[in-house]
Amino acid sequence: MRVLHLISSSGVYGAEKMVVGLCEALPRFGVHPTLEVFDNAHSRNIEVADYALTFGVPVKLLPCGGRFDAAAVRRLRRDIRDLNIDLVHTHGYKANLYGFFATRGGVPMVATNHRFDTGPQNRFDKPVLRRAAAVFAVSDEARDSLRREYGITDAITIPNGVDPSGFDDSRPTLDLPRPLVGMVARLAPEKAPADFLAAAAAFPEATFVVVGDGPLRGELEQAATANVHFLGFRDDMPGVYASLDVLVQPSYREGMPMTILEAMSAGVAVVASRVGAAGDVIIDGRTGVLYAPGDVPSLIEAVRDLLGDEARRAAIGKAAREAVAAQFTVDETARRYAEQYRRVLGRDDGSR
């Protein structure tokens, strides 16, 4: 079975990591994926293509210009034909739109909603997703939003997963004073980095690190207290997680944050806002700590409790690692997607 995954990306963030991890795992379940990445003329960013290649995932670039490029639709249709693709799996509203037009009258298209957003793109996304052969959501919250806002009543939740072995026996790579509290995210308003900085200001004796980049970085650096370090993108994330005492995920909106799964798999105690799938992944007080989004005093209290109790941090980290290994592995995610592909195609096995 040959499946084309289609994505438009502005960097390597949670959704991109999920898609690449899925593509790397799918061959173990009889699915041969190709990842096609938009090469957008207006904002060229093909980092996810380079990232996928490091995992041995076959990659194609799809040149695309303008607000809607009919030539890109034709190129995509040609790639589907030339690669003998059985099914197209889209990720994000631009991929949904182009995938829809490229597959009309041809192979089935399925789509994953990584995070439900309200915005002008919804007027295009809604009719496209309603015509997809199957729609998947990474969290029950996203699934319920699809039902409520788009009228899609049969969306299927398939949680994201990580490879736990990627975090085994990792050595710390951050040479900074401890205790060390981190945030890993794109620096955009919905990720609530200002809440993280507010928490940092309450702990002048601790070191806080921000991993990632984004449009808010400049103003955040100006607002940060002296104990905050901005590290940008890192290619040693297992070592970064191994360096942390606590990871904070303060987002206002999320789908299923890969950062939470990665940190938990590394045995780090996580403090997360109760948005998206955070409440599905974390058992509050046992495998992490949850708080209401935007409630900075509760965030500060949770961080203070964990920094002040090393035994509790260790117990939460151990339980978190075990929970991910039992429920949120990339192989389980890939198995479930492969099962759904075969259902859509009417196949019972992995043959082409």
143-164 per-position pLDDT tens digit:
999 999 999 999 999 999 999 9
29-53 per-position pLDDT tens digit:
999 999 999 998 877 778 999 999 9
The predicted structure's pLDDT at residue 14: 86
Closest CA to 44 of 8, 6, 13, 89: 8
Q: Is 306 exposed, middle or buried (0-12, 13-18, 19+ CB in 10 A)?
A: buried
320-352 per-position pLDDT tens digit:
999 999 999 999 999 999 999 999 999 654 433
CATH match of 164-327 with 3.40.50.2000: yes
Closest CA to 212 of 239, 191, 198: 191
Note whether 2-161+329-345 and 164-327 share their fold: yes
Take residue 282 and report the two structure tokens written for it. 């974390």
Domain range summary for the chain, segments of one domain joined by +: 2-161+329-345, 164-327
Beta bridge partners of 327: none
Segments in the chain below pLDDT 70: 117-121, 347-352
The predicted structure's pLDDT at residue 352: 30
How many whole angstroms separate alpha carbon 121 and alpha carbon 318?
41
The predicted structure's pLDDT at residue 41: 85
pTM (2 d.p.): 0.89
Q: Pairing state of beta strands 134-137 and 109-113?
A: parallel
The predicted structure's pLDDT at residue 350: 40
The predicted structure's pLDDT at residue 304: 98
| CATH code, residues 2-161+329-345 | 3.40.50.2000
How many whole angstroms separate alpha carbon 205 and alpha carbon 293?
25
